[in-house]
C-alpha cells in the first residue's frame, strides 16, 4: 500500500465512521508531566482594561498535564518513514477531511448521525521533523518538529489532502493560512472527535464531542483595541501554571492563533489562548488583549478532556 493509500484508508474510516477502524475511546499513550516557562508581559506594558497578561504568557512555571482520556484516538498505523522533497504526483482538488454521507430520509437519528460523522477530524502526531510548505510541493516556509515550543507533542489537524500532501493548521503560520507537509513524513494518525466553537458576540465557548455539546461556559474577550482574532485555529498545548493566582489562573489551552493587534509596548508574545484568570469579574466583558478568559472550573475540565490538535473556530 502506498503512503497516500494508507492515509486515505485512515481518512475513509473517519469519513464513513466504519466500526472496526479503531476504538471508540482514546488509547494513545499518556504523556508524562513536564514543566515549561511561558513568558510574561513586562510590568510596564499598557493595560487595555484589567491588569492581566492576555496572550500566551505568565512568567511562571507551567506544567503540561498528562494525557488521559483526552488523548487523540488512533485511527491506523503510522504512514511513511521519511519526508520527501518532490511532489508524488499532480495535485488533486482537496477533499474535506471528513464529510458525512446523506442520511436516509425519515431517519430519526439522521441529524445526530451526520453531526457525529462530520465532527470527527483526522489528526497526525508528528514523529520526525519535516518541512512546512506554502502549497503542495511548493516553497519551504518553515520546519515542524515533534515537540511544540512549550514541549508538548506536535499534533496537527488535517484539513485538506491533495495527492501526497496534507494540509494542516499550525502556529508556525499566520492566521488563516494552511501549511502543507508530505504524507510520507513519519507520523501516527488519530481520530479526534472533539471541537471547540467560540462566539464573540455571545462571549461564550462550546465544547463538543461527536457533535454534541458537552460543555458551555462564558468568557472575557479582547478589548476594543485588541480584539480576539476570528478564524480556524487548533489547540497546540495544555498547560498548568501551578498557581491559581497567576494572571492565567490554573490552566491554559494554548491555540495556534496570533494576536495581530498587540498593544503598543507589549512584550508578552502574540499567541492567543483560552485560559483561567485571577480577575474572574472580567468574564463576560471585553477586557483582554486577545485571549479568552474562562471560569476556573470550566477551563480545568477542558484542559483535562480536550485533546491537543482539536480544531477551534472563533466567530464574531
Q: Tens of pLDDT along 283-314?
A: 999 999 899 999 999 999 999 999 999 999 99
Q: Are 108 and 6 in contact (CB under 8 A)?
A: no
Going 167 to 236 to 256 to 14, the CA torsion angle's sign is positive
The answer to whether the beta carbons of residues 163 and 86 sit under 8 Å apart is: no
* Range of weakest confidence among 109-118, 132-141, 228-237: 109-118
What is the value of pTM for the model shown?
Answer: 0.73
Q: May I ask the CATH class of domain 3-20+71-85+118-192?
A: mainly beta
Percent of the chain with pLDDT over 90: 56
pLDDT tens profile 266-282: 666 789 999 999 999 99
What's the mean per-residue pLDDT of the chain? 74
Q: Which of 2-16, 74-88, 90-104, 282-296 has the highest mean pLDDT?
A: 282-296
**Phi then psi dihedrals of residue 11, to 5 deg:** -60, -40
Contact 305, 243 (CB under 8 A): no
Burial (CB count <10 Å: 0-12, 13-18, 19+), residue 198: buried
Phi, psi of 110 (to 5 degrees): -60, -45
- Level-2 CATH architecture, domain 34-68+194-315: Beta Barrel (2.40)
**What pLDDT, in 10s, does the model give residues 95-123?**
334 433 344 444 444 444 444 445 788 99
CA angle 139, 157, 63 (to 5 degrees): 110
What's the pLDDT score for residue 263? 73
Task: Give residue 64's pLDDT.
Answer: 61
Please, are residues 303 and 252 in contact by the beta-carbon 8 Å criterion?
A: yes
> What confidence score (pLDDT) does residue 18 get?
21
Is the CB of residue 288 less than 8 Å from the CB of residue 48? yes
The dihedral through the CA atoms of 239, 240, 246, 250 has a sign that is positive
Residue 192 near residue 165 (C-beta atoms within 8 A): no
Cell matching residue 316? 464574531
Please report, for the chain, the start and end positions of each structural domain, with discontinuous segments joined by +.
Answer: 3-20+71-85+118-192, 34-68+194-315
- Apex CA 198: angle with CA 208 and CA 241, to 5°? 85
Query: 3-state SS of 72-93?
Result: CEEEECCCCCCCCCCCCCCCCC
Amino acid at each position: 500500500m502506498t503512503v497516500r493509500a494508507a492515509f486515505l484508508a485512515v481518512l475513509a474510516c473517519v469519513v464513513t465512521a466504519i466500526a472496526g477502524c479503531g476504538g471508540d475511546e482514546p488509547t494513545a499513550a499518556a504523556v508524562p508531566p513536564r514543566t515549561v516557562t511561558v513568558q510574561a508581559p513586562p510590568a510596564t506594558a499598557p493595560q487595555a482594561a484589567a491588569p492581566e497578561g492576555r496572550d500566551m504568557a505568565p512568567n511562571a512555571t507551567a506544567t503540561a498535564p498528562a494525557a488521559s482520556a483526552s488523548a487523540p484516538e488512533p485511527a491506523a498505523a503510522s504512514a511513511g518513514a521519511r519526508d520527501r522533497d518532490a511532489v508524488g504526483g499532480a495535485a488533486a482538488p482537496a477533499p474535506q477531511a471528513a464529510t458525512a454521507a446523506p442520511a436516509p430520509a425519515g431517519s430519526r437519528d439522521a441529524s445526530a448521525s451526520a453531526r457525529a460523522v462530520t465532527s470527527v477530524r483526522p489528526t497526525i502526531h508528528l514523529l520526525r521533523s519535516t518541512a512546512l510548505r506554502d502549497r503542495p510541493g511548493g516553497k519551504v516556509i518553515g520546519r515542524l518538529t515533534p515537540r511544540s515550543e512549550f514541549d508538548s507533542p506536535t499534533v496537527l489537524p488535517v484539513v485538506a489532502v491533495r495527492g501526497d500532501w496534507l494540509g494542516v493548521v499550525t502556529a508556525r503560520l499566520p492566521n488563516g493560512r494552511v501549511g502543507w507537509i508530505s504524507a510520507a513524513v513519519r507520523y501516527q494518525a488519530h481520530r479526534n472527535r472533539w471541537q471547540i466553537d467560540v462566539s464573540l458576540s455571545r462571549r461564550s465557548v462550546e465544547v463538543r464531542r461527536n457533535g454534541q455539546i458537552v460543555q458551555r461556559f462564558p468568557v472575557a474577550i479582547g478589548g476594543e483595541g485588541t480584539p480576539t482574532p476570528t478564524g480556524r485555529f487548533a489547540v497546540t498545548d495544555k498547560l498548568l501554571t501551578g498557581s491559581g493566582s497567576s494572571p492565567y489562573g490554573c490552566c491554559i489551552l494554548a491555540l495556534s492563533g496570533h494576536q495581530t493587534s498587540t498593544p503598543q509596548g507589549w512584550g508578552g508574545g502574540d499567541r492567543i489562548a483560552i485560559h483561567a484568570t485571577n480577575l474572574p469579574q472580567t468574564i463576560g466583558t471585553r477586557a483582554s488583549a486577545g485571549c479568552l478568559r474562562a471560569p476556573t472550573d470550566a477551563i480545568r475540565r477542558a484542559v483535562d478532556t480536550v485533546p491537543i490538535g482539536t480544531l477551534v473556530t472563533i466567530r464574531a
